[in-house]
A and B are shown apart, each in its own frame.
Chain A
Amino acid sequence: MAAPVRSMDKTSAESLSSNNTSFQKKTKSKLISIPGTRPSVQNGQLLVSTGVTSLDYLLGGGLAVGTVLLIGEDRYDSYSRMILKYFLAEGVVCRHELFVAAAQDNPDDILQELPAPILDDVAIPKAVEQPRLPCEPRDSLEAMNIAWRYQNLPKVQSFLASSSRFGHYYDVSKTMEPEIRLASKSRNILRVGLHSLGSALWGDDLSCHDNPKHRHALTTFLYGLRALMRSSLSVAVVTLPSHLIQDRALMGSITRLCDNAIALESFKGSERETNPLYKDYHGLLQVLQVPHLNCLASQLPDHKDLAFKLKRKQFSIERLHLPPDLSETVSRVSRGELAGSPVSACGSGAPGTKHLDF
């Protein structure tokens, strides 16, 4: 069921025989030549973009070459598939080699759905345009008549982006032209995309039984995958239907065998879809794990409450902000209903149906 865009065997054999791991600190002169990569500011690690600028920012600048990113799928697998397609599209634009494997549908189908790149480089992301509140002054220079103490406070920036640009922007409403997906260079990064690993279609019983017989098959595979990634110039994105796996201990060891781990939870089909608190977003995103490679401290994101939304052309991740309560007469009842949703308004993530009284 695997569809290597170029022959996979050649790539792995080639990179394994040159016996260096991708975890060495790279000297600039040697590797700056690979397109679509840049060294990390923190540890000199070679990074590639995931295609989603805000996700790059969350993961400390991008995916380090030689690591595995685990994406916990949302229930209908629409947004996790979207991130996977972004990842592959970025590889196509940077002329990296791709390896796609999927059990549910033909990997060629995934490749045909890749979003079209916006290649004019001056394009400023539309994400910068914030949904402004009606009461917010349009011009920040405008002097405040009331609440003037807040005049000098910096504007809250809810979209996530680093100052320098890395990666490309894509238009998800269009698909990529098939001609773009052809050419490739000799010594290059290999991007591996594995779709819905652990689902029953791969012959795994992890998601079907409480006590799976082959509970070590997937973890052993992930260990081998990490070993393979570390010894070659490649980077992998694995999506996994984590909501199907009942055994949390197993899920924990799966997460620890990947380097980065994020989980998506979409509002689709849940009662939160109609909840006015979340009307600006399509789902919540959790960063479960960030790696610490070549250094002691890991790059934890400074904000844990994250939400994603799919605009007409673009997928983006933002800080979760609750909308202001604008109604003039707020009854206690409706406030109680709003705060009763599992993520409390101050975003501590503590479940419960407590009222927020302040």
Chain B
Amino acid sequence: MFTELNSILNASPDSITPGELIVVSDRQSDASFLVHHFLSFYLRARCKVCFLGLVQSFCHYSAVSQRLGLSLTQAKERGQLVFLEGLKDSLSILIPQERNAESQAMDFLQDPAAGLRSLYEFVQSSVTGSGSSEDWGPPVLLVDDLSVLLSLGVSAGAVLDFSHYCRATICSQLQGNMVMLVRCSGEEEEEDGDEGSERLLKGLTHQCTLTLHVQGLPTGFCKDIHGQVEVCRRRRRGDLQHNQNKLFQYKVHDKGASFFARGTSSAVL
């Protein structure tokens, strides 16, 4: 959990805004440090967390959380965290001889055209299931990352359907939160750009309440500033809807990240 980001977003683990859909996106940069932030944030807030870790192994997330002062293994044992390790589960489908019918969450790999119903059912059962003795807060779904589903052959429409179902269940019905990471490549203006993830990002941005968009510096590579993040919050006040945009530069450290206004890096001043 990065305290600086909390003050930027006006959030604290003590008070969670219900029904939020947060979209984290990046372009020619890496926004996965924000996923670690939200994971530790919601675990501190005593929410019931369902984490779809599709791109890295559990050990990676666990080691990073350890540095941020949290133990994922303990959270799993207490029933607070449900962790889907996509890499591990996909092996039993891609190499069928060691098939074990533990979880059907990654079954879409067999027939990507059929959609993500199995994955949604996994999410639904893990957020509604009350297998633990302790009473946890509102449910939270985190996905790292959604665009890898496109690489596995699922269509952008199916991923949007999946996120819409999840939003209906978690954000509306159970008043929880969702954080989704989408990674794009290429330029924004490009005509023949990334149709799939571009479409996915547009669709999610349309539904979300808060976006965090990470980019590299427009002026090029710098060792002391890793990039910039654009924070855009959508607020509904009556019928008037107004957006608030803020732009920060950031640097990722060993145990966190620092955010500062443009041009105020300690390397520059």
Which of B163-222 touch A at CB < 8 Å?
183-186, 190, 192-198, 220-221
Taking a contact as CB atoms under 8 Å apart, the answer to whether A227 and B91 are in contact is: yes
> What residues of chain B lie closer than 8 Å to A224, measured between beta carbons?
90-91, 94-95
> What residues of chain A lie closer than 8 Å to B87, measured between beta carbons?
223, 226-227, 230-231
Pairs A–B under 8 Å by Cβ, sample size 18: A220-B109, A223-B90, A224-B91, A224-B95, A227-B87, A227-B91, A249-B185, A249-B197, A251-B185, A252-B194, A253-B185, A256-B55, A257-B151, A294-B60, A295-B254, A296-B64, A296-B253, A298-B252
Taking a contact as CB atoms under 8 Å apart, the answer to whether A216 and B60 are in contact is: no
Taking a contact as CB atoms under 8 Å apart, the answer to whether B221 and A21 are in contact is: no
> What residues of chain A lie closer than 8 Å to B137, measured between beta carbons?
none
Taking a contact as CB atoms under 8 Å apart, the answer to whether A216 and B253 are in contact is: no
Neighbour of A23 across the interface among B59, B95, B186, B190, CB < 8 A: B59
Taking a contact as CB atoms under 8 Å apart, the answer to whether B60 and A23 are in contact is: yes
Taking a contact as CB atoms under 8 Å apart, the answer to whether B151 and A223 are in contact is: yes
Taking a contact as CB atoms under 8 Å apart, the answer to whether B220 and A43 are in contact is: no
Taking a contact as CB atoms under 8 Å apart, the answer to whether A248 and B67 are in contact is: no
Taking a contact as CB atoms under 8 Å apart, the answer to whether B257 and A296 are in contact is: yes
The verdict on A219 contacting chain B, using a C-beta distance below 8 Å, is yes
The size of the chain B interface, using a CB distance under 8 A, is 49
Chain A residues with CB under 8 Å of chain B are 16, 21, 23-25, 43, 216, 219-220, 223-224, 226-228, 230-231, 247-249, 251-253, 255-257, 292-298, 300, 302, 304, 348-350
| CB of A259, distance to nearest CB on chain B (Å) | 10
User: Bound complex: CA of A320 vs CA of B112, how far in Å?
Assistant: 45
User: Bound complex: CA of A16 vs CA of B87, how far in Å?
Assistant: 13
Taking a contact as CB atoms under 8 Å apart, the answer to whether B151 and A219 are in contact is: yes
A216-B153, A251-B185 are contacts. A297–B60 as well, Cβ < 8 Å? Answer: no
The verdict on B255 contacting chain A, using a C-beta distance below 8 Å, is yes
The verdict on B30 contacting chain A, using a C-beta distance below 8 Å, is yes
> What residues of chain A lie closer than 8 Å to B150, measured between beta carbons?
253
Which of B10-55 touch A at CB < 8 Å?
30, 32-33, 36, 55
Chain A residue at minimal CB-CB distance from B109: A220
| CB of B174, distance to nearest CB on chain A (Å) | 30
The verdict on B148 contacting chain A, using a C-beta distance below 8 Å, is yes
Chain B residue at minimal CB-CB distance from A302: B223
Taking a contact as CB atoms under 8 Å apart, the answer to whether A227 and B88 are in contact is: yes
| CB of B193, distance to nearest CB on chain A (Å) | 6
> What residues of chain B lie closer than 8 Å to A252, measured between beta carbons?
184-186, 194
Chain B residue at minimal CB-CB distance from A227: B87
User: Bound complex: CA of A96 vs CA of B109, how far in Å?
Assistant: 32
